[in-house]
Amino acid sequence: MANTNYPLQASQKVVNIWNTDHGLADEGVFFLATNPTVGTGIATTTSVVDDAATASATHGQNVPVMYIQNGYSASDSGAKSIYLKYLRMIVTAAPTSATVWNMSIRSDVVPRYTSGGSRITPVNINTGSSNSSSALIYFGAVVTTNLPSASSRLLCNTQIQSTIPVVKDQWMITFGDQTMPTNVLTASAAKNINVPCGPIIVGPGTNIAIAMWGASNAGAPAWEFELGYVERSAGL
């Protein structure tokens, strides 16, 4: 029997044939940023023990693990926003004495990068697209110019795990999917941990800093990483 809600003439039915990110990839707007050498992690700052708002080499807000700046100007009519999809991190050098591991993400309208870290060159995952990314990405022992300004927003504050990380621990941090479960195995064995966060959009002229720290940490952790994100005009 025909569906009377959709007459045969003078009507349209819209069906989503892509329930994945293939549509975004097909547009040429999905980008990937990774550590340059497979199997080789990037070292971060030694002994980051907390996230206090102090200009100290041991405070996460001053020495984040990752810094992402949207290279578009806020006044550019053609500016695009950066939509974070996921961040995968694999421990290659464990913090030597951290009893827990935490993460925070803050946005700002004031550019904060000073020095340090590795400049990462993103790639378009559509091999048939020549679109390039506007994101300026640094990963590793990043040093900021200043602490977050009064315009800063705390976008994520979470505990990655309640044990000391070990080599080969893998964390999948997702943005916009709060239903994904977290899988925590034994403290001494390598673990796969899923960390769901809310959606994060880095608007034109803004930046985010991802800080990680551990209580009593006395070592310099290192990671391989993979960041997936989308660049599109806002509202489209």
In tens, the pLDDT along 222-232 reads 999 999 999 99
Phi and psi of 193, rounded to 5°?
-125, 130
Residue 121 has which token pair? 């060159």
Helix (H) or strand (E) holding 175: strand 170-175
Where exactly are the structural domains of the chain?
49-232
- Could you tell me which of 171, 188, 153, 211 has the C-alpha nearest to residue 86? 171
0.85 exceeded by pTM = yes
CA 9, CA 137: separation in Å to the nearest integer? Answer: 51
Sign of CA dihedral 69, 74, 78, 82: positive
Residue with tokens 């300026």: 136
In tens, the pLDDT along 94-143 reads 988 778 899 999 999 999 999 999 999 999 999 999 999 999 999 999 99
Total residues found in the chain within this entry: 236
